[in-house]
Amino acid sequence: MITFVKNKIIHNQELIAQELKQARIRQNISFKKASEKTGISQKYLEAMEAGEFSKLPPGIYSKNFLKEYAIFLGIDVDAILELYIEEAGEKYINKKQKFFSARIPSRINIINLPKIVKIISVFIVTIVCLFYLGIYIKKIIAPPYLSLTEPSADLVVHNNLIKFFGHSDTEAQIKINDELILMNAEGSFSKEINLKDGLNTIVVVAQKKYSQKNEIIRKIYVESEQKP
């Protein structure tokens, strides 16, 4: 704890200002760092070190600012406050100004810019993380790519055999009418289907482990050849 002796030649506010400034300089602390650590605006710290206590918010705020700054710098808080109250006289005692100021300080004066920047930064980082998390989840549950090159559309055929060709994501599982179909390394698949006479509905489904389904339906009508 740093202690000091009161010099009767100078005013108490000047003595307080000297002690604050010397303590900060001895510890090589900048106003910016002190403001971040104490939550007190830099302009108020500069005012205290200049002995301009009238520039502080009135009432109990100025006393609390001085107390917090003295604690931060490791100065004898009781001695500092005693000097401050002695200098102030009855100004901060009469008319309930010991606890509250008659004039409410401006909201701008008590706002601490570093804290606001920190809160905004945390908010932005959170939003960005949630955005990328949403993209990742959407990618997982989105249905895989699926295309059929053959048959390209619904058909009327005379042959009971027809071959299906298609492509999908390599991570997907392909089923044709609930029958599992193997794919090659490029994501291509093929399957020869034996059709019945009349209308055939063929359902091709692609699905990843946690994704939604992607399906293509082909309706193929087989006309039986009339025998003479």
Give the pLDDT of residue 167.
Answer: 93
pLDDT surpasses 80 at 18: yes
How would residue 53 be classed by pLDDT, with cut points 50, 70 and 90?
Answer: confident
| First-last CA distance in the chain | 117
216: nearest Cα among 138, 142, 139, 149: 149
The mean pLDDT of 24-34, rounded to a whole number, is 91
The mean pLDDT of 190-196, rounded to a whole number, is 91
Q: For 13-17, 58-62, 129-133, 220-224, which range has the lowest pLDDT when averaged over its residues?
A: 58-62
Pairing of strands 214-222, 155-157: parallel
Report how far residue 101's alpha carbon sits from residue 116's, in angstroms, rounded to the nearest whole number. Answer: 25
Q: For 4-13, 99-108, 178-187, 196-205, which range has the lowest pLDDT when averaged over its residues?
A: 99-108
Q: Is-contact 220 155, C-beta < 8 A?
A: yes
Give the pLDDT of residue 3.
Answer: 53
The mean pLDDT of 78-88, rounded to a whole number, is 81
**pTM value?**
0.42
Tens-digit pLDDT profile for residues 119-149: 999 999 999 999 999 888 888 888 998 989 8
Give the pLDDT of residue 111.
Answer: 59
pLDDT surpasses 70 at 39: yes
Say which residue the tokens 């559309």 belong to: 153
Top pLDDT among 198 and 57 is at: 198
Top pLDDT among 168 and 10 is at: 168
pLDDT surpasses 50 at 160: yes
